[in-house]
Amino acid sequence: MGIICAEAKAAGYTLEEVKRAGYTAREAKAAGFEIKAGGYTCAEIKAAGLTCAEAKSAGYGVEEVQRGGYTAREAKDVGYEIRAGYTCAEVKAAGLTCAEAKSAGYTLEEVKRANYVEGLKEAGFQLEDVMEAGYALPEILRGGFTKADAVHAGYAVAQLQVALKAARAAGYACKDARAAGMLSTCKDAKEAGFTCKDAREAGFTCKDAREAGMLSTCKDAKEAGFTCKDAKEAGFTCKDARAAGMLSTCKDAKEAGFTCKGAKEAGFTCKDAREAGMLSTFKDVKEAGFTCKDAREAGFMPRECAQAGFTYEEGRAAGFPSRPPSSITYGAYYDWVGYFFVL
pLDDT tens series, the chain, 343 aa: 467 888 877 777 877 777 777 788 788 777 877 777 667 889 988 988 889 999 998 899 999 999 999 999 999 999 999 999 999 999 999 999 999 999 999 999 999 999 999 999 999 999 999 999 999 888 888 888 888 888 888 888 788 888 888 888 888 889 988 887 778 899 989 988 999 999 999 999 999 999 999 999 999 999 999 999 999 999 999 999 999 999 999 999 999 999 999 999 999 999 999 999 999 888 999 999 999 999 999 999 888 888 888 888 888 899 887 665 554 444 434 455 454 544 4
Last residue of a domain, one of 195, 214, 232: 195
With respect to residue 39, please indicate whether it lies within any of the assigned structural domains.
Answer: no
With respect to residue 145, please indicate whether it lies within any of the assigned structural domains.
Answer: yes
- What pLDDT does 233 receive? 97
What is the extent of the structural domain holding 161?
Answer: 117-195
- What pLDDT does 37 receive? 65
With respect to residue 186, please indicate whether it lies within any of the assigned structural domains.
Answer: yes
With respect to residue 302, please indicate whether it lies within any of the assigned structural domains.
Answer: yes
With respect to residue 308, please indicate whether it lies within any of the assigned structural domains.
Answer: yes
Domain count, the chain: 2
Query: Distance between CA 176 and CA 144 in Å, rounded?
Result: 9
Last residue of a domain, one of 195, 222, 240: 195
- What pLDDT does 330 receive? 40
With respect to residue 83, please indicate whether it lies within any of the assigned structural domains.
Answer: no
Last residue of a domain, one of 174, 195, 216: 195
